[in-house]
Structure 1
Amino acid sequence: MASRTFCLARRNFDTCISLKSSRLPRTWFPGSQAYRQATTAVHSLKHPVQDIIHTLPSSTPRKSLVNFTSAEGKRLFRGAMDQGRAESFFKLMGNFSAQSSPAKAGMTSLAMSLNALEIDPKRIWKGNWRWFSGDQMQTCSPKEAISQHGIPFDEFRCLAQAHCDVDARRASSAGYRQFLSDLQYVTSNPNSQMVINYSRSRLGQPGESHFSPIGGYNATEGMALIMDVARDQYPSVWVDTRTLYEAMLDKESIGLSRGYFILRPGSVSHLLRCQTCTRRACSNRAVQSQ
């Protein structure tokens, strides 16, 4: 009788472990730190049913994110290449940069895109090399504010326009069809790049506002490639374009939606004022291009 009771208990425990393990969010990919921590927690719990519920994030992705290096991710990339919509990927990959801290996603994405566009920063990075670096970007807001909250949409535009031609489009104003049209244009044009500002939680990932460049677009299957600059936590992923657009509809603290930026090489004025910026610290400062 005791042996039968033990077997039943063991079977129920194994069932719980299997069930909860299969429900791990798909944003936790094998090999990532978050995945290892999650699976370790699952197998070390004394009370798996109650504890696992509190271990996992409350938000789950509406549609699966596809790891770029997975078999499915490679298939989607081949499709994007066949469609001629992976031109932005190669220059980004050759200039890939990882953010040095969570608050520097915007500045790192901008620096990475400017390097991919082969724009001369007109200043020394290290040694004799001229190179854009997120850590060298001069923001309008104090460093303390950036380190706590990151860079907002308007300030990214103000910073970008000092170095290149930029179209800043809030998702609520541009609309979904315009976003798809811009995706097609950027990913098929080696002389342009797109940086998106979106809510991580809308994709089922922990966190809120984030920036990253777009590396490809598979129009046939409606998937866009996010080249995530937070490489210590997240891999590059394919995401459904409708889901991504809705993640950009998430509002900032000022009540306006997030959105995306189209960057191109272009002439800039020697003196730029952030006249359209909603941040007072930005609107009162002149940005002198080097």
Structure 2
Amino acid sequence: MNRLKFIAAVAVAVGFSSAQAETLPLPDGVISLASPEGGAMLFGAEANTDYFPLSIHFATQDNPAYCGPATIAMVLNALDVPRPASDMTLGLGMFDQENIFTPAAESVMPATAIVNPPYGMTINQFGGVLAAHNLDVEVVHAADSDLDTFRDAAITQLKDDDHFILVNYLRKAIGQEEGGHISPLGAYDEDTDRFLILDVTRYKYPPIWVEATALFDAMNTTDSANDGKTRGYVSVSR
């Protein structure tokens, strides 16, 4: 890891650590990024390239239903997608959880629908909003994949800051509270076979390292809002 990346990682980890006191207790089997063990895993991770652009643009979701929009805003900024025009920023503005809903995105999933029952976004709606920003998007339901395929795809993309991998999983399957959730992956540690989830619900949980098997099982759960299909993962690039 070069010096600039090390400094950036330390700065972000400190920020995560300062927020950790406000979060819910972590279940057994996961490791907080803000812990000494979690920090050491990041610095030693075999695939951690995506961590840096995502952490620079980290977003905490604006409300309990907005894990999808927060993740989308992070990824659009990390991919350096042309920003929306703004009189205040001379056309150099950033994406946020409101302006991601362009007319094309609204045609896929209106912002107002996210905060009404059944709340949030399915993985297909999430992928559709990303695609509405002219990105290359692949939505994979866990039932149509397997652990090894997911692991290989995720590692490849975590080593390349032009590609990102985003996960839709059931929180209670990894011992958290409680429903479906969306967040980006930031790194993979081969020694422990764990992925780092950059949880966008920062007020609830810190970023955590989760075993690959446990994460895949949490994705391989039925989403009743998505016609009974399983959750899964999304690969995205420009």
TM-score, length-normalised on structure 1? 0.68
What is the correspondence of 1:33-44 to structure 2 with a 5 Å cutoff? Answer: 33-35=23-25
What residue is the counterpart of 1:244 in the other structure? 215
Partners of 1:125 and 1:194 lie apart in 2 by 33
Contact 1:123 1:131 in 2 (8 A): no
Q: Decide whether aligned partners of structure 1 residues 228 and 30 sit closer, same or farther in structure 2, where only a CA change above 3 A counts.
A: closer
1:137 maps onto 2:100 in alignment: yes
What residue is the counterpart of 1:150 in the other structure? 120
Letter paired with 1:241:
A
Letter paired with 2:40:
R
Q: Which has the larger radius of gyration?
A: 1
Listed one character per residue, the Cα deviations across residues 128-169 of structure 1 (whole Å, up to 9, x for unaligned) are 233211222324344443103111111111111122111111
Contact 1:153 1:258 in 2 (8 A): yes
* Structure 1 residue 71 displacement after superposition: 1.2
Supply the RMSD in Å over aligned alpha carbons.
Answer: 1.9
Q: Percent sequence identity over matched residues?
A: 28
1:196 maps onto 2:167 in alignment: yes
Task: Tell me which of 160, 169, 178 is aligned to 1:207.
Answer: 178
Greater relative contact order (CA < 8 Å, ≥ 6 in sequence) = 2
What residue is the counterpart of 1:22 in the other structure? none
Partners of 1:68 and 1:30 lie apart in 2 by 10
* Structure 1 residue 94 displacement after superposition: 0.9
Partners of 1:66 and 1:132 lie apart in 2 by 30
Task: Tell me which of 32, 35, 38 is aligned to 1:67.
Answer: 32
* Structure 1 residue 86 displacement after superposition: 0.4
What is the correspondence of 1:261-280 to structure 2 with a 5 Å cutoff? Answer: 261-265=234-238
Contact 2:24 2:204 in 1 (8 A): yes
What residue is the counterpart of 1:179 in the other structure? 150
Partners of 2:110 and 2:223 lie apart in 1 by 19
What is the correspondence of 1:72-151 to structure 2 with a 5 Å cutoff? Answer: 72-80=37-45, 83=46, 85-124=47-86, 127-128=89-90, 129-138=92-101, 139=106, 140-148=108-116, 149-151=119-121
Contact 1:125 1:131 in 2 (8 A): no
- Stretches of structure 1 that go unaligned for 5 or more consecutive residues are 1-28, 36-59, 266-290
Contact 1:218 1:224 in 2 (8 A): yes
Q: Decide whether aligned partners of structure 1 residues 147 and 204 sit closer, same or farther in structure 2, where only a CA change above 3 A counts.
A: same
Q: Decide whether aligned partners of structure 1 residues 88 and 98 sit closer, same or farther in structure 2, where only a CA change above 3 A counts.
A: same
What residue is the counterpart of 2:15 in the other structure? none
Letter paired with 2:231:
R
* Structure 1 residue 33 displacement after superposition: 4.4
Contact 2:174 2:215 in 1 (8 A): yes
What residue is the counterpart of 1:31 in the other structure? 21
Contact 1:193 1:262 in 2 (8 A): yes
